Each structure stands twice: as structure tokens, then as C-alpha cells.
Structure 1
Amino acid sequence: MSETRVAVTDTTQENVRENKEFDPWAIPEDDEEFEKWSEMTKKRRVEFVLVIISKIIGVLGCLYLFICSLSLMGSSFQVLAGKTAGTIFSNNAILKNPVAGLIIGILVTVLVQSSSTSTSIITTMVGADILNVHQAIPMIMGANIGTSVTNTIVSLSQSMDVVQFRRAFAGATVHDLFNLLSVLVLLPLEVASGMLEKMTHRLIEPLEATNVKPPKILKVITDPLTKKIIQVNKTIIALVAQNVPLEDDASMVSKICKEYNSTAEKTVKVPCNPSHFIFAGTTIDDGGVGAILLIVSLFALCACLISMVKILHSMMKGSIARTIKKTINTDFRKPFKWVAGYLAILVGAGLTFVVQSSSVFTSTMTPLVGIGVISLKRMYPLTLGANIGTTTTSLFAALATDGEALSRTLQIAFSHFFFNIFGIAIWYVIPFMRNIPIKGAKMLGNTTAKHRWFALVYLFMVFFIIPAVILGLSIAHIWAMAAVLILVGIIVLFVVVVKVLQAYRPQSLPVILQNWKFLPIFMRSLDPYDKVFTICCARCDQCRRCCGSHSENQSEGEVYENSVVVPNKVLPTQEVHTSHF
């Protein structure tokens, strides 16, 4: 990592010292002076209004393309891995193990990039009597975890700005932590007592079948564009999951675009052609189509998100911006201070119900956390509301089922709903418990600010590698999986207890456990790994900026958002180091 030595004035040193008190989690204050409306000339007012209108149109346009790119990314994963996801679902022997069912729910949701798709498939399989309710509940919990991968990916687009990335990554991972902690508590309870299964069974007994379909408010807007690019045959996933033999040329890309009844009461199928969508009738296999779509959608997603963030950042200035930030993040006065958080949950649930996708809602909120419009404290209840709102998808899928299967499918839908309700009751309603996911997200945000490569490691470890390893162990033997999980659980519990005692009662610990210095440095610090990632990224300046770390400078002083390092010992020449990533 290159370093340049630059002389600084006394004024600069004072500014750097002020940054010591900089709080990266606080809503940024706008101290600049702006021209007041009353002081503007008529010409200036017209220019100001036109600029604001053009920026609003730009934000809405970027938001539209951003949502479309999310839809295309989901379609690309479905084309790439849809058959694999269906095959995973079809292994009924593995699903008898609740932990394996949880992992399969995570992996399938990550592969198809949609909890709505995975929960609908699970509901369909329960209705077809391929899965029973007892097996499906852990899979629904896994789908809840897998759906949060999208906003974690979206947060990576803000990795070029350390301060924004810190907040955005924390805003994304607070969703992960809530889902993981809820599963950690509720899955053992469900296995031991069957709490959700028994409660939902009593709840659905008086209900009867109704033909209800979910609203398609967002899809009405985005489908005209996305359906002209790709149309996915999602029935293939369900057929593979149900062990139904497929034709040799079966493809995840739709081949039939329209069906209607002729005068002879025969169903006429209209084959797809390029006039229906771009990839209709293509000779490229599913892997090639999925790869092309994934590259295009990721590029479009990053371009739209970066543009939207820049426009919003330019708009979030002045008295209007201060009013918006205050309105979104303010709390009510006592004794109603607690109401604001619950209103945020209702807003999150309502907006997610409208767009019928928790991924779209949370992915849209994540960059707003990054630029400081929404605080992490307010983002947390919004994501909890999104978790509730997304349960309507499986509920509508269940209500569309007829006959004897209705009771089973409704049971799964309500299990999904009450899983999130109980999670909120534990990790939000209890005041001191809600701090655990928030503090955990801040810790992850601080870690990625110092070691930006950690974000990618976290993403692959949490959503791919660890679930795959646990699934492999469960396939090998249930006792092998149990032994490893128990060992890891004991280690994690020991570390947590020791960390708490080190912080609050260090005198109660043996001298050797009062700090972690007895461990090798690679087991207690990420600094040694910086060199590995720096070497990997050394050939590309862009990669250095994404993967760079401040750790080499940490021995000399503190690092702040302006990347200036304050030495612990001021040199005679009053010099500081500026690091270039």
C-alpha cells in the first residue's frame, strides 16, 4: 500500500483531532449555508425548482431500473440453479433432519434469490403431500435467512466510501442477525415442543378454501420491461421437487408464452419467439442464459444504485433535507417514545405487502442507511416489518389450494407468520434484547470499514460455505453433524462468556483469560489476513480500493473517514500519513 508524507498546518491538525469524536452511526449534520428561498431571484427560483424536479425524476428512474435489475438478477439465479434447487427440495430423506431442512431452505432461497419463490414451492410441496408440516417449518425458517442475502449484496456497491459502507453494511446485516438469532432460539423450541405446528393446527381448523391471489402492484410496473428480456418457467422447479420426470429439452426459459381454448375445446399453446422476449427460442443453454443475465443485472444494479445514491446525496442538503431526516428518525415524546419503532414495523410490513418482496424493500432502504438518511436504529424495525409483509406471499399461495390440502398449506403459511412475530417479541419488544442485533450489526460495520474484504468473506461464509458444510455433514451422518455443531456451540458460548467477563468483571477471570494475547495473532485479529488480500488485489487499483485496509496504520494512530492518520507521537516536522487504497 503506497503512502505519501504530507505536511499539515495547525488548522488541519485541529480538524483531525475533531474527527476523533466523529460518530459514524449518527445522522450526518448539514452545516453548510444554503441560499434561502426568500433571498432568491425569480430566475434562481425557476432554476432551483427545475433542478429539484429533474433530480426527483432521475431518482425515480434509477429506482425503477434498480428494481428491474433485482428482478432480472432473481431470474438469472432461477435459470442458473432452478433445477438444482428443485433437486435439493426433492431429497425427502435429508429433510427429516430439521437442521438439514433449515440449511436447504437457506441454500435454495439464495440460489433462486427469492424467498417468495422458495416459500411458495414449499407450500406447494406440502399441498401435494410430498412434505409434511413438521418437515416444512424448518425450511420456512431457512428461507427467512436466505432472503436477506440480496440487501447484503446491494450494500457492497457503497464499498468505495468507508463511512457509507460502514453504515450500509450494518443496515443490511441487522436483517441477517435478526433472522439468525430468531432461528437460534425458535428452531430448538420447535424441535423440542412443536410449538408452531400445534398452535397453527388449532388456528386453521375453522378456515375454509378461498380463491385469493396476491396483488401485483409492483409487477404491473416492472413486468413490461423485465418480461421483454426473460420469462422463467418456474413450474420446472416444482416439478423437479416433486420428482416428476422432465422432457429432455426441458428448460428454465419459458417456451410457451400463451395458452387459450379453441372452438373445439382444445388448449392451444403459442410458442415463444423473439417478439415475446429477447431470449425466446435461444440455442444457448440455461447456464449461458443465466450467466449473461447475471452479469448484465449486476452491472445495471450497481450503476443504478450508485447513480441513485449520488443524486440523493446531492438532494439531502439544506433545511428540506434536515426536515426529512428528522421526520424519519425522530421518536415521539415520553411516554410515547416507544410508538415510533412499532409504526416503522407497520410501515415496513405495509410497503413490503405492496411490492410483494422483502428483498426489494430492504435493498431499497440499504443505500439510504449508507448515505445517512435513515439511521440504523430506524432501519431495524423497518426490516422486521418487511419480514412480516413477505409472509403474505405464502398465505396467498396457501389460500389458492383446494380440498384437503388447504389445512396443511395454511398451517405452513401461518407458521411463517408466527415465526416472525415470535422473533420480534424476543428481539425487539424486550428493550435490552433489541440492542443485541443492532450492536452486532455495528460490529460488522466497523469490521468492514477497517477490512473491506471482510464483507465478501462474510457473504460467502454465512450464505454459502457454512450452510454447505452443515448440509454435507448431515448427509454423512446426523451424529457427525451433531458433534460438530455441539463443539462449535460450546466454543462460541465460551468466547461470549469470557468477552462479557473481560468487559465487566475481569478480576473474576484467571490472569491468562483477562485478554486474548495468549492466542496466536491470526486467531484474535484480522490484520494478518490483510496482507493476503492486499497481494491478491495488488494488480488492480480498483480492487485495492475495495479490499484495502487501514490496519497497517493502526499501529501509528486512529483512522477516520478522511483517511488521515493521527500519530500517537507527533513528529517534529508535524507530518501525517495519507493512505491510498
Structure 2
Amino acid sequence: MFLAFAAMKYSFTIMGGQFAEDLVKIPHNPFIYFFIGLLGAAVFQSSSAVTTIVVGAVASGHMSLDDAVFIVMGANIGTTVTSTIVALSYIDDKSVFMRALSGAALHDFFNISVALIFLPLEMFTGFLSNLSQNLSGMLFDNGPGINVTVFEGYDFGLDRLVKYIFSNFSEYPWFIFLSAIVLIIGSLKLIGGVTKQVLMQNNNISTNTLIFKNDGASLLSGTAMTAIVQSSSITSSLIVPLIASKKLSLERGYMFIMGANVGTTITALFASMATGTEFGIEIALTHVLFNILGVLLFLIIPGVRAFPIWYAKKLGFLAAKDRIFGFLYLFTLFFVLPFILVWLSV
């Protein structure tokens, strides 16, 4: 995973100004960047891959924090496509499919709800980007706190290793860039596949186990497991079979998903540390703040927590009545709508 981060950093370093021009050639429009993030995470099936790319772009100065924050917001929604695809595998049985799609949609509607709160707030006030810059300044300035130079050796010589591996391809930065993407996605899939196999072979997993014993345990388990796996799309898809088989309630699965949203920010933080730049750390902190503040809002404000559960149940009911609705929901939300909106806007 860290080799992938270093390769991404190296590719951005040698691409230079021309790539920066191509990367931000589209108009400065928060909605365009938002849907690019959504579409990118849906295609890669991982917000971690997208946020890692964005961290590299910001750290190298090829993308502004103001643009990157909207890509991160969109990626948070796009990553939920994996659990929705898993839910579609239960389409043969109407009642099971209803529960499976409801479980998958929990992640969708939670992230959509958080984006509906922070997207306009960021557009009009720059709330998240300003807060991340202030927090980064407190942590990594030369004054009290942690200095950013602490992380310059964090790669344990990975920068030198990457330069050696790709020394014959320095004139082909796109090859290095694509190789880094393949390494990131491959790492996430490998880690997630092993974890999923271990968990799904354990028939004792239920609401009575330590993982889902209560709301607090579900929240902490979601955070810890996703931090280890480094992909919320993988951990959130694990609860779909449990909800479909009635081993886990929607409410308890919902807490696990909120924890997963916090845990997935670890990947971007690791990537930002590998860059050794304050700009990369700022966008990583934006990702952390977006997810943590979103979880806190839905935990603290009375009644707000119920909205995603209600919509998830409603979607499952509609899909059970007409199962083609599940496919339409998947392709419209994650692929057709963002592609059309981006295409019309550029």
C-alpha cells in the first residue's frame, strides 16, 4: 500500500505543469468536482483510491484544496456502490433482497445526507477547508505541536525504491500513475478479500457477538475494521449478508457503517504522511473532518439518525415490489447521473 502511495507521489512530481493544466482544465464548479469524485469512486469501488489520488495531486500543487474537497465529498458516496452490488446478488428472493438492499442503502443515504449538509456549507463558507488549514497549522507549524518534517522519512526509503523501479519510465509518467492506481486498488482488494473470507466463514457472527453487542461496540468495530482493511466499501459490504439473513438489525448495522466512515479516513492520512507536505495533510484532514463531523451530527442531534434508516427501508420495499428498481437505482445514482452532469457541465 505504501509503495502505491510513493508511486503516486512520484508520478505527480514528474508530470509537471502540463498534467496540472489537464487535471484542472474543467471549470471551477463544485458540483462538477463532486460528481467526478462520485463517479471515480464508483468506478474504482473505493473512496480510498480516489482520496489517495487527490492527496497526491494537492500535495504536489497540481490541485487546489478548494477543488479537492468536493471530490472527496463525492467519493464518499461513490464508494457505497460495492455494497449495493453485493445486495443485488440476493435478487432471487424478494424478502431477502428487500433486507439486503436496505442494508446496502444505509451507507448510501447516510453519506448523501452528510453531503447535503456540508456541500452547501463548504460552497458558501469554506467551512471544511478553512478548518482543516487551521488544524494543520496548529499541528504542523514550527511552533508547538507536530512538525511536518517528522513525516518526511515516513516512507522508509520508498521514494528511492520507486525511483529505482520506475527509472526507465520517467518519460512516461502516465504509466507510473496508472501503475500506482492498480497497486492501490489491488492492495485494497487483497486486504479486503482476505478479511471478508475470514469473517464470512465465521457462522457465529450475529448481534450477540462482541462486534455488534451494542451501538457503541458496532461503531468502534466499524472504525477499527475499516482502519485495518483501509476500505469502507469492503467493510460495509460485509454487513449486507448479515442483514439479509436477519442476523443483524438495520439499526445496529447503521452504527457499524458510521464507524466505517471514520475508519476509512486512515488511508488518506497515511498517503498525506508519505507526501511529507502540509498541503497533502490539509486535504487528508478535510476528509477526516467531513466524516467525523458527519457522524457526530447524526449521533447528537435527536431524530436525525432515523432519516437514513427510513429511506433505506423505503428503497428496499420499492425494490422488492419491482426488482428492476434495484438495478435502476444502482446505475442511475452511481454512473448515469454523475456522468451526464459532468458531461453537460464541461
**TM-score bin (small chain):** 0.7 to 0.9
Shift of residue 329, structure 1, vs aligned partner = 9.5
Are residues 249 and 185 of structure 1, via their aligned partners in 2, closer, same or farther at CA, if it must alter by over 3 Å? Answer: closer
1:429 counterpart = 2:300: yes
Q: Identify the residue that residue 13 of structure 2 maps to in structure 1.
A: none
Contact 2:223 2:262 in 1 (8 A): yes
Show structure 2 runs of 5+ residues with no match: 1-18, 141-146, 157-164
Could you state the TM-score of these two structures normalised by the residue count of structure 1? 0.47
Percent identity reads: 34
Q: Identify the residue that residue 97 of structure 1 maps to in structure 2.
A: 29
- Aligned pairs for 1:25-104 within 5 A: 90-94=22-26, 96-104=28-36
- Aligned pairs for 1:156-235 within 5 A: 156-205=88-137, 206-207=139-140, 208-209=147-148, 210=151, 211-212=153-154
C-alpha RMSD over aligned residues: 3.3
Q: Identify the residue that residue 59 of structure 2 maps to in structure 1.
A: 127
Q: Identify the residue that residue 64 of structure 1 maps to in structure 2.
A: none
SS of the residue 1:159 aligns to: coil
1:469 counterpart = 2:340: yes
1:459 counterpart = 2:330: yes
Q: Identify the residue that residue 155 of structure 1 maps to in structure 2.
A: 87
Tell me, in whole angstroms, the C-alpha distance in 1 between the residues paired with 2:234 and 2:84.
12
Tell me, in whole angstroms, the C-alpha distance in 1 between the residues paired with 2:124 and 2:297.
18
1:246 counterpart = 2:178: no
1:397 pairs, out of 266, 271, 293, with: 271
1:366 counterpart = 2:240: yes
After superposition, give the CA deviation of every residue in 1:30-55 in whole Å (9 maximum; x if it has no partner).
xxxxxxxxxxxxxxxxxxxxxxxxxx
- Aligned pairs for 1:256-271 within 5 A: none
2:220 pairs, out of 323, 346, 368, with: 346
Q: Identify the residue that residue 444 of structure 1 maps to in structure 2.
A: 315
Q: Which amino acid aligns with 1:411?
A: E
Q: Which amino acid aligns with 1:109?
A: A
Shift of residue 330, structure 1, vs aligned partner = 8.0
1:357 counterpart = 2:231: yes
After superposition, give the CA deviation of every residue in 1:241-285 in whole Å (9 maximum; x if it has no partner).
xxx97389989579xx9xxxxxxxxxxxxxxxxxxxxxxxxxxxx
Shift of residue 89, structure 1, vs aligned partner = 10
After superposition, give the CA deviation of every residue in 1:450-472 in whole Å (9 maximum; x if it has no partner).
11111110000000111112112
Tell me, in whole angstroms, the C-alpha distance in 2 between the residues paired with 1:253 and 1:416.
24
After superposition, give the CA deviation of every residue in 1:194-248 in whole Å (9 maximum; x if it has no partner).
111111111111322314469xxxxxxxxxxxxxxxxxxxx99xx9xxxx97389
Tell me, in whole angstroms, the C-alpha distance in 2 between the residues paired with 1:104 and 1:416.
16
Tell me, in whole angstroms, the C-alpha distance in 1 between the residues paired with 2:174 and 2:63.
27
Structure with more of its chain in strand, by fraction: 1
Q: Identify the residue that residue 288 of structure 2 maps to in structure 1.
A: 417
Are residues 122 and 247 of structure 1, via their aligned partners in 2, closer, same or farther at CA, if it must alter by over 3 Å? Answer: closer
Q: Which amino acid aligns with 1:144?
A: N
1:387 counterpart = 2:258: no
Are residues 328 and 447 of structure 1, via their aligned partners in 2, closer, same or farther at CA, if it must alter by over 3 Å? Answer: farther
Are residues 164 and 140 of structure 1, via their aligned partners in 2, closer, same or farther at CA, if it must alter by over 3 Å? Answer: same
Are residues 347 and 88 of structure 1, via their aligned partners in 2, closer, same or farther at CA, if it must alter by over 3 Å? Answer: farther
Contact 1:362 1:383 in 2 (8 A): yes
Are residues 182 and 247 of structure 1, via their aligned partners in 2, closer, same or farther at CA, if it must alter by over 3 Å? Answer: closer
Tell me, in whole angstroms, the C-alpha distance in 1 between the residues paired with 2:263 and 2:32.
26
2:69 pairs, out of 129, 137, 143, with: 137
| Residues matched between the structures, number | 296
Structure with more of its chain in helix, by fraction: 2
Contact 2:20 2:62 in 1 (8 A): no
After superposition, give the CA deviation of every residue in 1:111-151 in whole Å (9 maximum; x if it has no partner).
22221111111000001101011111001101111111111
SS of the residue 2:275 aligns to: coil
SS of the residue 1:94 aligns to: coil
Are residues 370 and 92 of structure 1, via their aligned partners in 2, closer, same or farther at CA, if it must alter by over 3 Å? Answer: same
Contact 2:227 2:263 in 1 (8 A): yes
After superposition, give the CA deviation of every residue in 1:460-488 in whole Å (9 maximum; x if it has no partner).
0000111112112221xxxxxxxxxxxxx
SS of the residue 2:303 aligns to: helix
After superposition, give the CA deviation of every residue in 1:319-375 in whole Å (9 maximum; x if it has no partner).
xx8xx44456988xxxxxxxx323321110011111111122111121111111111
After superposition, give the CA deviation of every residue in 1:376-429 in whole Å (9 maximum; x if it has no partner).
001111111111101011111111123xxx221111111101101221233332
Contact 1:168 1:367 in 2 (8 A): yes
Tell me, in whole angstroms, the C-alpha distance in 1 between the residues paired with 2:327 and 2:301.
32
Show structure 1 runs of 5+ residues with no match: 1-86, 215-234, 258-292, 332-339, 476-581
Tell me, in whole angstroms, the C-alpha distance in 2 between the residues paired with 1:88 and 1:126.
10
Could you state the TM-score of these two structures normalised by the residue count of structure 2? 0.77
Tell me, in whole angstroms, the C-alpha distance in 2 between the residues paired with 1:251 and 1:354.
25
- Aligned pairs for 1:328-347 within 5 A: 340-347=214-221
Contact 1:351 1:361 in 2 (8 A): yes
Q: Which amino acid aligns with 1:444?
A: L
Tell me, in whole angstroms, the C-alpha distance in 1 between the residues paired with 2:104 and 2:253.
9
Shift of residue 438, structure 1, vs aligned partner = 0.2
After superposition, give the CA deviation of every residue in 1:83-116 in whole Å (9 maximum; x if it has no partner).
xxxx999441326211111011111111222211
Contact 1:95 1:135 in 2 (8 A): no
Tell me, in whole angstroms, the C-alpha distance in 2 between the residues paired with 1:186 and 1:466.
20
Q: Identify the residue that residue 68 of structure 1 maps to in structure 2.
A: none
Higher relative contact order (CA 8 A, sep 6+): 2
Contact 1:204 1:411 in 2 (8 A): yes
Q: Following TM superposition, where does structure 1 have runs of at least 4 consecutive aligned residues deviating by more than 3 angstroms?
A: 87-91, 211-214, 244-254, 324-331
SS of the residue 1:374 aligns to: coil
Are residues 158 and 189 of structure 1, via their aligned partners in 2, closer, same or farther at CA, if it must alter by over 3 Å? Answer: same
Q: Identify the residue that residue 15 of structure 2 maps to in structure 1.
A: none
Tell me, in whole angstroms, the C-alpha distance in 2 between the residues paired with 1:457 and 1:89.
36
Are residues 329 and 115 of structure 1, via their aligned partners in 2, closer, same or farther at CA, if it must alter by over 3 Å? Answer: closer
Are residues 90 and 179 of structure 1, via their aligned partners in 2, closer, same or farther at CA, if it must alter by over 3 Å? Answer: farther
